[in-house]
C-alpha cells in the first residue's frame, strides 16, 4: 500500500499572518482524517516559518514550492535545500509547469533541483504534464514519459513523489477525467518500472481538483493523491478533499 498525499500548493497566496489564520482554522477541524493520509501545505517561502510553527506537534507537514539547485552562493533572491532542511521542511515541489513556463526551467534543471532536495533528505514532488497543444496532437504520453525520464535520471526513485499535472487543467476548471488521468499515471509507473520498484512511488494528480471530483479521482488504482491549487486556499474545500472517499 502506498501512502496517500493531499498537497496544497498555495502558489503566490498567503503572507505569514494569513498562513497562521488559515492553519489554525484548518487544524481545529481536521480531526482524525489524517490516518493513513499525509497532508502537506506548500506556502510561499516567506510563510514557511509561520506554517512550520503552526503545524508543530500535528500530523500535517510543510513543503516548499521551489528550491535553487546549488547549496549556497551568489544567487540573489534564491533559497537553497540546506536552508529548507534547517527549517524542518519535508517536501519540495520541483518542475511545476508555472516554473517551466514563466521561469524557463528545463528538464535538466528540474533534475538538479530534485537531486539538491534529496541530498538534504527533503522529498521532491516532481511535476510533469503536457500542454493542450501536445494533448491535441496525441503527444501527451510521449511528453510525460520524456519529462519523467529526464527528471528522475540518476536517482533512487523510491525516494520521490511524482505529480501529473496536465497544463490545460491547471486553474482552468477543466479536470482530466479520472480515466484519462489513470491512463497517464499508468504510463508514468511504466516509465519508472525500468528504474526500480515503481509500485512504491506515489503518483499524484493535479489540475482543478475540487471537492466535487476528488472521490472519483482517488478511486483510480494509480492515483495516490492530489496536488491542489485553488481549492487548497479555502479551509472547507481542502478539508473535504482531505476527507475524500475513494469507495463511492
Ligand atoms: O497547479 C496546481 C497545483 O500545483 C493545480 O492548480 P488548480 O488546482 O488551481 O488547478
Q: What is the pLDDT of residues 143-169, one digit of tens each?
A: 999 999 999 999 999 999 999 999 999
Determine the pLDDT at residue 144: 97
> Could you identify the residue written with the cell 489554525?
24
Instruction: Locate the ligand 1 atom nearest the alpha carbon of residue 209 and give its number.
Output: 8
Give the burial class of 132: count Cβ atoms within 10 A of its Cβ; 0-12 exposed, 13-18 middle, 19 or more buried.
middle
pTM: 0.97
* 248 CA from centroid of ligand 1 (Å): 24
Determine the pLDDT at residue 174: 86
- Whether residue 168 is annotated as binding a ligand: the answer is no
- Whether residue 229 is annotated as binding a ligand: the answer is yes
Please compute the mean of the pLDDT values over residues 33-58 and round it to a whole number: 94
Please compute the mean of the pLDDT values over residues 234-247 and round it to a whole number: 94
The set of residues, in sequence order, having a beta carbon less than 8 Å from that of 13 and lying 6+ positions away, is: 44, 233
> Catalytic residue at 165?
yes
Please compute the mean of the pLDDT values over residues 18-39 and round it to a whole number: 92
Determine the pLDDT at residue 11: 98
Determine the pLDDT at residue 3: 92
pLDDT band at 246 (very low <50, low <70, confident <90, very high): confident
Pairwise CA distance, residues 247 & 226, whole Å:
16
> What pLDDT digit, counting tens, does each position of 80-133 carry?
999 999 999 999 999 999 999 999 999 999 999 999 999 999 999 999 999 999
Determine the pLDDT at residue 176: 87
Pairwise CA distance, residues 215 & 198, whole Å:
24
Spell out which residues line ligand 1, taking CB within 6 angstroms: 9, 96, 165, 170-171, 206-209, 227-231
126: left (phi over 0), alpha (psi -120 to 50) or beta: beta
> What pLDDT digit, counting tens, does each position of 180-238 carry?
999 999 999 999 998 989 999 999 999 999 999 999 999 999 999 999 999 999 999 99
Please compute the mean of the pLDDT values over residues 24-37 and round it to a whole number: 88
* 74 CA from centroid of ligand 1 (Å): 31
Q: Whose CA is nearest to atom 6 of ligand 1?
A: 229
Pairwise CA distance, residues 162 & 123, whole Å:
10
Taken in order of first residue, the domains within the chain and their CATH numbers are 4-242 (3.20.20.70)
Please compute the mean of the pLDDT values over residues 168-178 and round it to a whole number: 89
Pairwise CA distance, residues 43 & 10, whole Å:
5
Say if residue 248's pLDDT is above 80: no
Pairwise CA distance, residues 169 & 171, whole Å:
6
- Strand runs (DSSP E) across the chain, as ranges? 4-9, 37-42, 61-64, 91-94, 123-128, 161-164, 203-206, 225-228
Q: Are 40 and 8 in contact (CB under 8 A)?
A: yes
* 232 CA from centroid of ligand 1 (Å): 9
Helix, strand, or coil (residue 93): strand
- Whether residue 9 is annotated as binding a ligand: the answer is yes
Instruction: Locate the ligand 1 atom nearest the alpha carbon of residue 11 and give its number.
Output: 4
Selected catalytic residue, list 96, 98, 130, 185: 96
Instruction: Locate the ligand 1 atom nearest the alpha carbon of residue 227 and give its number.
Output: 3
Amino acid at each position: 500500500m502506498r501512502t496517500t498525499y493531499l498537497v496544497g500548493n498555495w502558489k503566490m497566496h498567503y503572507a505569514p499572518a494569513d498562513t497562521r489564520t488559515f492553519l489554525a482554522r484548518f487544524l481545529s477541524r481536521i480531526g482524525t482524517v489524517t490516518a493513513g493520509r499525509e497532508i502537506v501545505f506548500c506556502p510561499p517561502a516567506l510563510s514557511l516559518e509561520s506554517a512550520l510553527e503552526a503545524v508543530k506537534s500535528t500530523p500535517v507537514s510543510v513543503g516548499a514550492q521551489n528550491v535553487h539547485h546549488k547549496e549556497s552562493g551568489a544567487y540573489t533572491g534564491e533559497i537553497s535545500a540546506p536552508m529548507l532542511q534547517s527549517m524542518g521542511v519535508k517536501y519540495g515541489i520541483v518542475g511545476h509547469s508555472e516554473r517551466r513556463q514563466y521561469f524557463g526551467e528545463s528538464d535538466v534543471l528540474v533534475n538538479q533541483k530534485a537531486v539538491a532536495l534529496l541530498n538534504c533528505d527533503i522529498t521532491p514532488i516532481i511535476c510533469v504534464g503536457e500542454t493542450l497543444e501536445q494533448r491535441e496532437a496525441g503527444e501527451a504520453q510521449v511528453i510525460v514519459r520524456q519529462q519523467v525520464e529526464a527528471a528522475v535520471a540518476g536517482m533512487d526513485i523510491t525516494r520521490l513523489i511524482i505529480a501529473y499535472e496536465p497544463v490545460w487543467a491547471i486553474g482552468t476548471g477543466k479536470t482530466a477525467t479520472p480515466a484519462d488521468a489513470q491512463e497517464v499515471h499508468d504510463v508514468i509507473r511504466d516509465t519508472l518500472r525500468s528504474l526500480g520498484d515503481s509500485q512504491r512511488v506515489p503518483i499524484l494528480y493535479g489540475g482543478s481538483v475540487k471537492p466535487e471530483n476528488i472521490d472519483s479521482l482517488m478511486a483510480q488504482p494509480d492515483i495516490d493523491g492530489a496536488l491542489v491549487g485553488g481549492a487548497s486556499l479555502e479551509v472547507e474545500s481542502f478539508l473535504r478533499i482531505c476527507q475524500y472517499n475513494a469507495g463511492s
